[in-house]
Amino acid sequence: MAFIHLSVVFSLMALCSSAPLECNDTVKPIAIWNPNEVFGKWFIIAASNDYKPYIDMFKTFRNSWMDLQPVSDSNFTMKQGMLFEKCIWTTEYFTMTNHSGFLTYTMRNNTFGTFMATCPNCLLMSFTSLDGSNVAKSFYIFARSRKFEASDLEKFKQQVECLGLPPPVFIDNQETELCPEEGTSVITSHPEPAKPDEDLKSKST
């Protein structure tokens, strides 16, 4: 997703220290021992963030899938098919570092995050973004299928509340049609409905 590769600086310590104490048990990084738990295709279930340019972008966002695949031990690709008013496909390289099972990832030199504890068959990605002096926090939950338990969504809502984030700006309604698999070259010929990067750049100067 475009919003995942935005200028993001993630600090595990910052996240932990900013969470109220009662969140300790519900919002925490998760150790992942089997890489296959993160590789492959995922569908976004819900998203929350606290930065207006990101929030605005979700107004026309309908759904997305992403496919995480290893390139080497520390280099990975995140391929995405996102439906806004039209489908947009992106492929992003990122590095992933394994701290005794706790995986932190970096994209575009300024995008950092880690996987957080969540429901089984779910993937919870946490980010903190720096845009000039602005700090944006984002929390995105994915699942292996678009069907998800109401209780899992409730847990996600509690997590974002614990973090002091606004309620989810996006929840998949499972009715919109997904974008098909597609080459990333297509993206250059599209108009630009989803260019939060531009917003960010113009705001930071």
| Strand, helix or coil for residue 89 | strand
In the window 128-147, what residues touch ligand NAG (CB under 6 A)? none
| Strand, helix or coil for residue 142 | strand
Is 78 within 8 Å of 127 (Cβ atoms)?
no
Among residues 18, 26, 98, 121, the one that binds ligand NAG under rule CB under 6 A: 98
Q: Considering only CA atoms, which of 93, 84, 80 is closest in space to residue 180?
A: 80
| Amino acid in the structure at residue 80 | Q
Among residues 40, 70, 101, 167, the one that binds ligand NAG under rule CB under 6 A: 101
Stretch that binds ligand NAG, among 57-65, 96-104, 133-141, 169-177 (CB under 6 A): 96-104
Taking CB under 6 A as the rule, does residue 95 contact ligand NAG?
yes
Is 57 within 8 Å of 2 (Cβ atoms)?
yes
Minimum distance from residue 108 beta carbon to ligand NAG (Å): 7
Interface positions with ligand NAG (CB under 6 A): 21-22, 24, 32-33, 35, 71, 75, 93, 95, 98, 100-101, 103, 109
